[in-house]
A and B are shown apart, each in its own frame.
Chain A
Amino acid sequence: MSFLLETLRRAWYLINRRRFEDSLRREMEAHRAMMAEPSGFGNTLRLREEARDVWGWRWLDDVERDFRFAWRMLRRTPGVACIAVVSLALATGATTAIFSVVNGVLLQPLPFMEPDRLVQVFGRSWREDRGGQPDSLDGPVGSAELEQFALQAGSFEGFAGYAVTTVHLGGADGPERLTAVAADLSLFEVLGVPAVAGRTFRTGDPPDVAVIGARLWRERFGGTTAISGQSVRLDGRSFTILGVVPERFQFPYRAASLLPGALPEGRTDVWVPLPPLRLAADGSLRRGRVNVVARLKPGVAVPSAQAELNVVARRVEEASAGTRLRAGARIVPLAAVVVGPIRASLWLLSAAVGLVLLAACANVANVLLARMTVRFREMATRAALGASGDRLLRQLLVESLLISALGALAGAALARWAIGLLTTLGAAKIPRAHEIALDWRAFAFLLAVCVGTAVVVGLAPALVASRIGPGAVTRSMAGYGVAGGRIGRLRDGLVIVEVALAFILALGAGLVVRELVRLENVPVGMNTENVLTLHLTPRTTAHEYQEIETRVSRLPGVRTAGLAQLVPLQNWGWTGDFAIRNQPRQDRPVAGLRYVTPGYFRTIGMPLLEGRTFSGADTAGSRPVVVVNDTLVRRYLQDRDPVGLELDRGVIVGVVGDIRNTGLGQPPEPEIYYPAAQNLAMVSDIGMSLIVRAATPPAGLVEPVRAVVRGVNPNLAVFNVRTMEQVVADSLWELYLYRWLTGSFALLALSLAAIGLYGVISFGVTARIREFAVRLALGAEPSRVARQVFARAWWLTAAGLAAGVTMALALTLLLPALQVPIGLPMYAFTAGLLLILAIVSSAFPALRVARVNPASALRHE
């Protein structure tokens, strides 16, 4: 209590300092004036200082003075200051940006009540027995099983099934497509999310109610609090709005990845009760299977809940004995499902950015050490005048703190910019992207980084300075080489560290680039030139699709047009098993199922290997036909003539080439193509993608195509307009992002290493210029002297490379999970890069030596 009051008084004194000091001075003057013999008062100045020191703010004055001095020193050497501040700004900015991403995505708990108790429940990927094959258990859950889980499993507080779909909201400028989630009424209770206005679902709510997201609330309803009871028309049906969920609320996460290519934005806007708007539309819904999230009871561990579900699943199987139906479930903590796919990448990026920060610290320490050598005389003089080692140490730490604070300030601006860029680019791709922000945690982190770098960076010069004794000044008269040996060795060490870090980072960036080059050269199986893709939604009739295809192909500049459920490379689509008719149904092979119109194959540029593709004659009334791809034939129909073969899914009429429908990194899968006209019920209610091949770059075609679509059916929304090249690039977005990040990290580290090398070599030349001059004057070959300069750069680089290679080898041994075969060529290439760097950064100092005029150099000192 008394301590607190004392602190308050001290603070009060600090605020009113000028006034208090003035009144003390006047008071003391008055006292002296009243005394008969003022000499008995004592030394006024000293007493005033003593009185001031009582309040304990002297250190503040000292620090202020130190900062002023440091500021003057920085301004006197703007080049050094710039290099130091800029390299720290780039490094702290990058570090803070990556931290914000890691913090928002990985470290912060999911914004639900007690998120540790939430789990995702997966069902069998195949409902039927497949000849005893083990099931990967990553599918949705059957509604019969879900019902039994909810009834029998005591480890759970509640289950909620859900399915993602799209709905269309009527508006002034055409329908707006929204991502909707059809969910059990228990969803919000299971997640533990209260409404910000109105209420969420409640047991017994009718099927025509809706909960909306904050974005929709703001944009369509002006954020009014009187939201509950208002109605909204979705796909022509009227829904009563119950309430609004918070801005941060997003469920399910990765909604975009469920329907990539169709839902690019990845935020959900509307929640309506299951059963969904159109029951038969979505394949999984049609079969009555849904995604499931569940809440464990407090204290229940995942393994024991899993064991209980296994028991219940076995009971369900026993109840359906005699059929081929199977049951099963696998539970995974929700957080792992949400961020699992990106966790390893983010930690790797954090490690990389940490190395960048380390390299920047080494560089700044190096620069400051170089300045220490020049300032040795100043330091020695101050020591001789009575500055203690502590005092010099503090002075230098304040200088490095000033540099790192300026760097952090610029870094904060940089981080802000980088985070804005990352969240915009990764909105639909990085899970929880909307939760990434430069918040107080990021600032606390930045502050810690700032102080940390100041200490790391200032330590080496400060330690050198604190060892300067009062006697050093006499020795320093001889020149500034006194502490040179120690400083020189420290600087060599720092340069070696910088080279090693640059090597590691360049190696990492090289690996990303190598992978990207590999994937970019994978044959996609199609011709991506001059192709435009658009998604049309919702699903419409076969006749209208045919009409659109015909009319678009007649547009001037268009060669062909076709429709498919989704463009390639989306890693999405139904899969199904098939068998050859009249063959024993033992192990039924699995294939991807694609629904396309006749023009698709020509438009996308897939080669026809055998038979024919579809034509306008393949309609709902005619014989069911399919086209299969090369991989399917080679894998399952090797010893047969595929064309004419009858599968239980239709007669094979043709064989086409392979196309990468899953991703460039994955091998082509066996695929079965259906004519959409014969199987329209199987096409998702999110509609089909229109693909247009033009003679020239297709940007100008967007409007004419839109007009055609409007002419055929004004209710169709056109969105996600991309060229096929963009589609391919989008499928590699993660690698592009990593190339961008690791590339800039490596570039930064390489520049830092170059600056460090140049600094050390150039300084070495300056210090030894007299020696070189003497040797040249005595007839030494200039090239020989220059070679000596190069040799030193080579030596430092070689040591750095040795350290870097050791570190890289250690990393691959310690983290076998990385599974990246680096390979000798990669090592050699990166090492070569650094050797070139060494030559470039020592070329100028070497040239200077070779061209030195002995006479003028000797006169110089």
Chain B
Amino acid sequence: MPRDDGLPPGTLVMLILRVLASQPLHGYAIAQRIHQLSHAELSVEEGSLYPALQKLLLKGWVKAAPAISDSGRSVREYRLTASGRKQLERERASYQRVSQAIRVVLETA
């Protein structure tokens, strides 16, 4: 079922990696951060974070540890690993290359 979350495919993983790069966060906080930082422009269907997070766990880019949220609920906190950091760099570089190219095409053609 296609979701209209305004995100190009694959970018959610990159956004999560970027948000986790500054500090370890639990799921709800990740959603909040993305929402805040994008000035509410990027609104994710928040549940879709979880399949994406499972993929990051599988790839070994993040690690999860049990934690307690501000509101006192037991949640899991996700922390970027070294290989996750590398992956973020790779994705950022390739994203910049691609978006640069798209912009050039859009502006000159």
Nearest chain A CB to B106 CB, angstrom units: 31
Residues of A within 8 A of B15 (CB): none
A55 proximal to B (CB < 8 A): yes
B55 proximal to A (CB < 8 A): yes
Nearest chain B CB to A480 CB, angstrom units: 38
Q: Report if A34-B69 is in contact (Cβ < 8 Å); known contacts: A27-B50, A28-B50, A51-B51.
A: yes
B54 proximal to A (CB < 8 A): yes
Looking at A41-49, A525-533, A561-569, A701-709, the stretch in contact with chain B turns out to be A41-49
- Contact in complex: B58, A34 (CB < 8 Å): no
- Contact in complex: B46, A42 (CB < 8 Å): yes
Residues of A within 8 A of B45 (CB): 40-42
Nearest chain B CB to A39 CB, angstrom units: 10
A54 to B46, CA, bound (A): 17
B47 proximal to A (CB < 8 A): yes
Nearest chain A CB to B17 CB, angstrom units: 16
Residues of B within 8 A of A23 (CB): 66, 76
B74 proximal to A (CB < 8 A): yes
- Contact in complex: A24, B50 (CB < 8 Å): yes
Interface residues as binary, B55-90 with A (CB distance below 8 Å gives 1, 0 otherwise): 101111000001001010111100000010000000
Looking at A1-9, A326-334, A578-586, A710-718, the stretch in contact with chain B turns out to be A1-9
- Contact in complex: A51, B54 (CB < 8 Å): yes
A42 to B50, CA, bound (A): 11
B100 proximal to A (CB < 8 A): no
Number of interface residues of A (CB under 8 A): 30
- Contact in complex: B60, A54 (CB < 8 Å): no
A10 proximal to B (CB < 8 A): yes
A44 to B59, CA, bound (A): 23
A53 to B50, CA, bound (A): 12
- Contact in complex: A47, B50 (CB < 8 Å): yes
8 Å CB contact of A54 from B1, B31, B55, B66: B55
Number of A-B contacts (CB under 8 A): 78
B48 proximal to A (CB < 8 A): yes
8 Å CB contact of A44 from B28, B47, B55, B57: B47
A287 proximal to B (CB < 8 A): no
Q: Taking each of A9, A10, A51, which has the highest tally of chain B beta carbons within 10 Å of its own beta carbon?
A: A51
Interface residues as binary, B35-58 with A (CB distance below 8 Å gives 1, 0 otherwise): 000000001011110110111011
B27 proximal to A (CB < 8 A): yes
Nearest chain A CB to B42 CB, angstrom units: 13
Residues of A within 8 A of B1 (CB): 46
Residues of A within 8 A of B28 (CB): 30-31, 34-35
A13 to B1, CA, bound (A): 27
8 Å CB contact of A5 from B31, B51, B55, B60: B60
Measured CB to CB, the nearest residue on chain A to B45 is A42
Q: Report if A31-B58 is in contact (Cβ < 8 Å); known contacts: A26-B74, A47-B51, A50-B51.
A: no
Nearest chain B CB to A708 CB, angstrom units: 85
- Contact in complex: A30, B48 (CB < 8 Å): no
A226 proximal to B (CB < 8 A): no
Residues of A within 8 A of B60 (CB): 2, 5-6, 9
A725 to B76, CA, bound (A): 84
- Contact in complex: B50, A55 (CB < 8 Å): no
- Contact in complex: B58, A9 (CB < 8 Å): yes
Measured CB to CB, the nearest residue on chain A to B27 is A31
Q: Taking each of B26, B46, B59, B66, which has the highest tally of chain A beta carbons within 10 Å of its own beta carbon?
A: B46
Interface residues of A in 36-70 (CB under 8 A from B): 40-44, 46-48, 50-55
- Contact in complex: A41, B46 (CB < 8 Å): yes
Q: Report if A35-B76 is in contact (Cβ < 8 Å); known contacts: A6-B59, A27-B27, A55-B58.
A: no
- Contact in complex: A54, B54 (CB < 8 Å): yes
Measured CB to CB, the nearest residue on chain B to A49 is B51
Nearest chain B CB to A239 CB, angstrom units: 68
Nearest chain A CB to B90 CB, angstrom units: 13
A31 to B28, CA, bound (A): 5
8 Å CB contact of A35 from B46, B53, B54, B59: B46
A824 proximal to B (CB < 8 A): no
Nearest chain A CB to B57 CB, angstrom units: 7
- Contact in complex: A30, B73 (CB < 8 Å): yes
Nearest chain B CB to A813 CB, angstrom units: 61
- Contact in complex: B69, A30 (CB < 8 Å): yes
A10 to B73, CA, bound (A): 28
Measured CB to CB, the nearest residue on chain A to B53 is A51
8 Å CB contact of B47 from A5, A6, A47, A53: A47
8 Å CB contact of A33 from B59, B73, B76, B83: B73
Nearest chain A CB to B92 CB, angstrom units: 19
Measured CB to CB, the nearest residue on chain A to B43 is A40
- Contact in complex: A28, B58 (CB < 8 Å): no
Residues of A within 8 A of B66 (CB): 23
A47 to B43, CA, bound (A): 17
Measured CB to CB, the nearest residue on chain B to A53 is B51
- Contact in complex: B58, A6 (CB < 8 Å): yes
Nearest chain A CB to B4 CB, angstrom units: 12
Q: Taking each of B51, B55, B60, which has the highest tally of chain A beta carbons within 10 Å of its own beta carbon?
A: B51
A30 to B50, CA, bound (A): 12
- Contact in complex: B51, A9 (CB < 8 Å): no
- Contact in complex: B76, A47 (CB < 8 Å): no
A41 to B83, CA, bound (A): 29
Residues of A within 8 A of B57 (CB): 9
Residues of B within 8 A of A35 (CB): 28, 46
A449 to B66, CA, bound (A): 49
Residues of A within 8 A of B3 (CB): 42
Nearest chain B CB to A631 CB, angstrom units: 86
Residues of A within 8 A of B53 (CB): 51
A47 to B48, CA, bound (A): 6
A42 to B28, CA, bound (A): 14
Residues of A within 8 A of B75 (CB): 27, 30-31
- Contact in complex: B71, A55 (CB < 8 Å): no
A27 to B31, CA, bound (A): 13
Residues of A within 8 A of B43 (CB): 40
- Contact in complex: A43, B47 (CB < 8 Å): yes
A54 to B58, CA, bound (A): 8
Residues of B within 8 A of A5 (CB): 60
Nearest chain B CB to A56 CB, angstrom units: 8
A6 to B60, CA, bound (A): 7
A171 to B57, CA, bound (A): 72
Residues of B within 8 A of A13 (CB): 58
- Contact in complex: A31, B74 (CB < 8 Å): no
A473 to B15, CA, bound (A): 49
A28 to B48, CA, bound (A): 10
A590 to B41, CA, bound (A): 111
- Contact in complex: A28, B47 (CB < 8 Å): yes
Residues of B within 8 A of A27 (CB): 26-27, 50, 75-76
Residues of B within 8 A of A30 (CB): 27-28, 69, 73-75
Nearest chain B CB to A192 CB, angstrom units: 50
Nearest chain B CB to A18 CB, angstrom units: 16
A55 to B28, CA, bound (A): 22
A106 to B47, CA, bound (A): 64
Interface residues of A in 426-464 (CB under 8 A from B): none
Q: Report if A34-B55 is in contact (Cβ < 8 Å); known contacts: A28-B47, A41-B47.
A: no
Can you name 17 extra interface pairs (CB under 8 A) apart from A34-B69, A50-B50, A51-B54? A6-B59, A9-B57, A9-B58, A13-B58, A24-B54, A31-B28, A31-B46, A34-B71, A34-B73, A35-B28, A35-B46, A40-B46, A42-B3, A50-B48, A52-B54, A54-B55, A55-B58
What residues of chain B have their CB less than 8 Å away from a CB belonging to chain A? 1, 3, 26-28, 31, 43, 45-48, 50-51, 53-55, 57-60, 66, 69, 71, 73-76, 83
11 contacts between A and B (CB under 8 A): A9-B58, A28-B27, A28-B50, A30-B74, A34-B28, A40-B45, A42-B48, A43-B47, A51-B50, A54-B55, A54-B58
Which 7 A-B pairs have CB atoms at the shortest separation, nearest pair first?
Answer: A42-B47, A54-B54, A47-B47, A50-B51, A30-B73, A51-B51, A42-B45
